[in-house]
Homo-oligomer: A and B are copies of this chain.
Amino acid sequence: MTQDKDPDRAVSQTVKALLSLRDLILSGALQPGERISELSMVERTGVSRTPVRMALVRLEEEGLIEAIPSGGFAVKAFSEADIFDSIEVRGAMEGLVARAAAERGASRAALADIKLCLDDIDALTRHPVLNLDHFASYVQLNARFHAALHDMSGSAVMIRQAERASALPFASPSGFVMAQSALPQARTILIVAQDQHRCVIEAIENREGERAESIMREHARLARRNLQLALGNQTTLDLVAGSALIRRPSRA
């Protein structure tokens, strides 16, 4: 009901290529730095070169791959600092949308809607013990919250930019949630994050722009802390989509 499930029909070849390629890259099937052969992708995705090429252009804009001067594209590698900065950028953009929502005022309907989302998250975190399904649900709800927050800015330009910043590699609001799930502090982190959710909505309701902005920036820094925790051990790292693209600074 949410979207078309059929993977073959009613989906453009370009979209199919885009999803396949993104999966291939994030799963680590393609080595960072390695040139992406278009013909190989034709074989692997089952679509012809034209849509593959379209998808490559979009993935370049997304930041997952980069153009090679002599032609073609290569998978990017990401340092811990790169990911930190991506999250910081996302925090800045979400801070901006939150401030805009607060200063310009959010509609009663939007506030009511996002509070329902918050209630759902509360219901989730009330469980004394959280399993993988719970975390998967949280990822969904969290995405819903962030999308709704963006919408509350009321600005198409800001919404677009916030979405684009969130689509940066490893910058997604839920990027490290699944990794959290293996951590002992998992529940604590979720509770803190949810408190920030509540606070930013309160700030928006009270028209406190500065406060709303700084909360969202801090909220992004919570993701950075998750990243640090996730990078700490291999078990959690394996739960991060695209972990094969992360180059550790040292091999000590």
- Contact status A161-B155, CB under 8 Å: no
Return A181 CB to nearest CB of chain B, in Å: 26
Q: Name the prevailing secondary structure of the A interface residues.
A: helix
A61 and B63 contact, Cβ closer than 8 Å, known pairs A92-B93, A155-B85: no
- Contact status B160-A63, CB under 8 Å: yes
CA–CA, A164 and B96, complex, Å: 16
CA–CA, A89 and B94, complex, Å: 11
The answer to the question of A13 belonging to the interface, with a C-beta cut-off of 8 Å to chain B, is no
- Which residues on B sit within 8 Å (CB–CB) of A165? 161
- Which residues on B sit within 8 Å (CB–CB) of A95? 92
Instruction: List residues of A (82-96) whose CB comes within 8 Å of B's CBs.
Output: 82, 85-86, 88-89, 92-93, 95-96
Chain B residue, CB-CB nearest to A157: B85
Indicate which residue in B57, B93, B168 contacts A58 across the interface (CB closer than 8 Å).
Answer: B57
The answer to the question of A239 belonging to the interface, with a C-beta cut-off of 8 Å to chain B, is no
CA–CA, A66 and B17, complex, Å: 21
Return A217 CB to nearest CB of chain B, in Å: 10
The answer to the question of A156 belonging to the interface, with a C-beta cut-off of 8 Å to chain B, is yes
The answer to the question of A81 belonging to the interface, with a C-beta cut-off of 8 Å to chain B, is yes
- Which residues on B sit within 8 Å (CB–CB) of A68? none
**In the complex, per-residue mask of A1-30: 1 if CB is within 8 Å of any chain B CB, else 0:** 000000000000000000000000000000
4 interchain residue pairs of minimum CB distance: A85-B157, A61-B61, A85-B155, A92-B96
Q: List 17 A-B contacts (CB under 8 A).
A: A50-B50, A53-B54, A63-B157, A82-B155, A82-B156, A85-B100, A85-B157, A85-B158, A86-B157, A88-B96, A88-B100, A89-B157, A92-B92, A92-B93, A161-B165, A161-B168, A164-B164
A residues with a Cβ closer than 8 A to B are 50, 53-54, 57-58, 61, 63, 81-82, 85-86, 88-89, 92-93, 95-96, 100, 155-158, 160-161, 164-165, 168
